Amino acid sequence: MAKKVMIDCDVGVDDALALILAFQSPELAVEAVTGVNGNVPLDNVFTNIQKILSLIQPKKRPLIARGAAQPLKGHALYAHSVHGKTGLGEAKIDLKKGEEWWTLFTGPAHELITKTARQYPGELTLIAVGPLTNLALGLQNDLEGMKKLKGVVIMGGAIRAGGNVTPYAEFNIYVDPLAAKMVFESGLPITLVPLDATHQVFLTPRWMDEQVSPLHTPFSNFVIEATNYNIETHRFKNRENIFLHDPLAVGAVIDQTLVKTERFSLQVETKEGEYYGKISETEEGPKINVCLGVDVERFLKLFVSGLK
Ligand code: BDR
Ligand code: CA
């Protein structure tokens, strides 16, 4: 039986790739997709969710909901330099009126998360690949509903690796450290997929040339456009390779044997200053699973199989 999941995301190029992998995997049944402020403003995120669903055309239309437009505290911080103006790099997808590959949930994202968790008690895994604001709102508004989740798999943080926003902090945690602190201290069954693991999985020009470009599918074409890959010069615009942060979180749910985890408690720095958004090991607090190792080759094969 397929595992029931829902995905909270801030689409985002690698979020889009994570959605494609999830919907294309027979091992998963994606019940719902929610948006949160992050890589780009929430309006862009929500449009991008709809665009990616139009590209995927899922057999079972998921519920979708808008989430938080701002972090719990502080200001939004966008990553246009990585994800482009709209969040999908140079990919262009038209939304056609009357062709909706989703069902709109008119309440906020956190309500859809707890409603779906209550609908499938002990069965639903929440995959969170953006800032954790919607999850924190779920904890604040319906803790019992959140406790019905089977598990929460989060892409975020840097434990022993350096950060990607500051030398210490990773983007998803840095945008809303207060939300991250609430989530890590919640006692929910969490698996964290930090930069320590995601920096091991990336698309190189060689993978693009040998594994992605020859596929000629709507998904492989999307990867080329969204990552701004130039098939003639064999280069990504402005970067050496493309990290598959968010797809790895989906991969860890599809097949747990792809990652190696260790258990420890984590604390989040919420005070402004040099270490803002840094997460570190601590003696106190609930223990969570932290992915530190990845079977790189097997994960990349899984990722490419989702583009077929
Ligand atoms: C995370 O930040 C975002 O830019 C990516 O989508 C990913 O979720 C990596 O630090
Ligand atoms: Ca993301």
pLDDT value of position 72: 98
Measure the CA angle with vertex 152, ends 150 and 157; round to 5°: 165
Residues of the chain below pLDDT 50: none
pLDDT value of position 238: 84
**Pocket lining: 79 vs ligand 1, CB cutoff 6 Å:** yes
What is the per-residue pLDDT across 46-72, written as a single tens digit (0 to 9) for each?
A: 999 999 999 999 999 999 999 999 999
pLDDT value of position 75: 87
Pocket test for ligand 1, best of 7, 8, 14, 199 (most atoms within 8 A of CB): 14
Out of 80, 83, 234, 245, the active site residue is 245
CATH of residue 280: 3.90.245.10
All residues at 6 or more sequence positions from 196 whose CB lies less than 8 Å from its CB, including other chains:
158, 159, 160, 161, 290, 291, 292
Please list all protein residues whose beta carbon sits less than 5 angstroms from ligand 2, which is an ion: 10, 12, 15, 129-130, 246
Dihedral class, residue 190 (left if φ above 0, else alpha if ψ from -120 to 50, else beta): beta
Report the distance separating Cα 177 and Cα 156, nearest Å: 11
How many structural domains compose the chain? 1
pLDDT value of position 260: 98
Report the distance separating Cα 13 and Cα 83, nearest Å: 6
* pTM given for the model: 0.98
pLDDT value of position 102: 98
Report the distance separating Cα 178 and Cα 213, nearest Å: 41
Centre of ligand 2 to C-alpha 216, Å, is 26
- Is 245 tagged catalytic? yes
pLDDT value of position 87: 95
Q: Which atom of ligand 1 is nearest to the CA of 170?
A: 10
Q: Which domain holds residue 139?
A: 3-305
